[in-house]
Structure 1
């Protein structure tokens, strides 16, 4: 496994571009671990409506970056008290939407530090029932990118103020606020350590599980040039990070065990003219082709059901089932 310590940058635009670059341009036969940190930022899930997820005035006043990532799931707050980890490897069916193997090193590292953590729900790591890590995945050709956050010593007050968490999500978790649901790892440690020492504990746990030491990979000047180009073309653009919601005359929203789905459709003379789907579901790939394929379909349940049957819904919508998705598309 190759290890990339991306401490050369705390710019979220660059760091997300670096992830994508490694996934799509370095040797696909290798496995990679990246550890990285961002200055204050909100990282939006691939399928989310950005303006519905952030407190825009607070974000602007506090100069918090807003950047969309490749993977699905919900919006997360990053600062220098948060450590991010990314695994990139060959995809096998058992890895898809199963975060156990990717989070095992974190659980093992914390156990050695005297903290009991566990994988709970769809994609969360918790300590005493409180979340300190969210995880998501993205599939590209035959490789999978699985990444997660680790709240080590983040500003949780700022986290709460920056994110606009939907009421139905809070209620689905059985808690009263975002702040009461999350925790920092540092609060639970028996001995005080730095985030750099914690980073080493994660690396050691991965090496122990792999049964081998890392080979460190450092970005070349050519790598850095290509990462910056990708950053400018995608992660620094308004269209990618915010985008525009299409005109619609049908809008349906539902929360399922697999996440929230919000459907915006423009229907004219019984046919779908335009469609956009938002949500924090853990889809593994882009919805662009799926949304494009909705255009021209008769807005009838049997037609829409047949369309859904032609697609790998797990890759598109994670654990949202066909009938759940259909109920949201048809507003029933």
Structure 2
């Protein structure tokens, strides 16, 4: 696996999370999709909350707190929940070719767990998206498929500002209880806590040494593509919290173990037919979701009518077409 490296004349100091997410996309398009090599890199950012593509951001994080405390807020293109990052933790990025995104994701989380076990830690990966040390979360991961390639990435909590993380992230009580905890802080651990003699720089060095065996040097042309790709992360429609997309539509929240949390808003007209559907949450998608939801407009809000209109398989990881239809049709 090759380490992704930047041109000598290019500095990444102070770059936002959107920059590094754009690096992953460019490497996926320009390299992984047309080669047999895998690619990996580490990155760090000033205090930032990164939310999954489907999240209603104002539900999962305290946006006022983030603004008043200088915490950047970025929506990534992969699914999953919200994570807090700062210069005391490390982000992992993994890019590989192919179309088997679920297999790639499992390989990535297993690779991260194996790295931690090589350091003497009792690490394991969950069936969904977490890496644990002795049952406590140390890394949350997500995936994204682009044509011909897959991206898997995650945060590694070497250390963190627990107070800022606790204030910035506001997951539902149901989500916390599903993990057997009552607060964000009680659910996580850190590398520094588990290995107090290992410095952050040494951890980074060992990670690169044990996971990579070569280098990919990005070109000036690659970096121009990265900066152009980064701009898409800051388009107003992409950055928007998303809740209330269909004005006046009541929302309900449901959690499906092993799949994720869903915030569901369905608008209907006076005739009872669907006029708009929005799904928010920390679930993962395997393909475009909103165009599928938009195709339900004009249908009655019944499980049978919705299921008949949905593609098979459904574009939500872990859900059958019928299960997705039931979520949308359920009024309770």
- Tell me if structure 2 keeps the 8 A contact 1:137–1:284: no
1:303 equivalent to 2:305? Answer yes
* Structure-2 residue corresponding to 1:110: 116
Moved more, 68-77 or 1-10: 1-10
CA distance in 1, matches of 2:312, 2:298: 17
* Structure-2 residue corresponding to 1:321: 320
- CA pair 289-222 structure 1, distance change in 2 beyond 3 A: same
CA distance in 1, matches of 2:32, 2:203: 28
* Structure-1 residue corresponding to 2:130: 124
How far the C-alpha of 1:271 sits from its partner, in A, is 1.8
* Structure-1 residue corresponding to 2:272: 270
CA RMSD after TM alignment: 2.0
1:88 equivalent to 2:95? Answer yes
Spell out, residue by residue over 1:99-122, the C-alpha distance to the aligned partner (whole angstroms, 9 max, x if none): 442133322332232212111241
Alignment of 1:1-332 (within 5 A): 1-5=1-5, 8-9=12-13, 10-30=15-35, 31-93=38-100, 95-96=101-102, 99-189=105-195, 192-207=197-212, 213-214=213-214, 216-232=215-231, 234-244=232-242, 245-246=244-245, 247-257=247-257, 258-268=259-269, 269-308=271-310, 310-313=311-314, 316-331=315-330
Spell out, residue by residue over 1:66-114, the C-alpha distance to the aligned partner (whole angstroms, 9 max, x if none): 1111111101111111111121112354x51664421333223322322
- CA pair 169-197 structure 1, distance change in 2 beyond 3 A: same
- Please report the TM-score for the alignment, with normalisation by the length of structure 2: 0.89
How far the C-alpha of 1:152 sits from its partner, in A, is 0.6
- CA pair 171-291 structure 1, distance change in 2 beyond 3 A: same
Moved more, 103-112 or 163-172: 103-112
Moved more, 318-327 or 116-125: 318-327
CA distance in 2, matches of 1:25, 1:241: 26
How far the C-alpha of 1:242 sits from its partner, in A, is 1.8
How far the C-alpha of 1:248 sits from its partner, in A, is 4.1
* Number of residue pairs aligned between Structure 1 and Structure 2: 320
How far the C-alpha of 1:253 sits from its partner, in A, is 2.0
CA distance in 2, matches of 1:322, 1:290: 12
- Tell me if structure 2 keeps the 8 A contact 1:106–1:205: no
Moved more, 64-73 or 275-284: 275-284
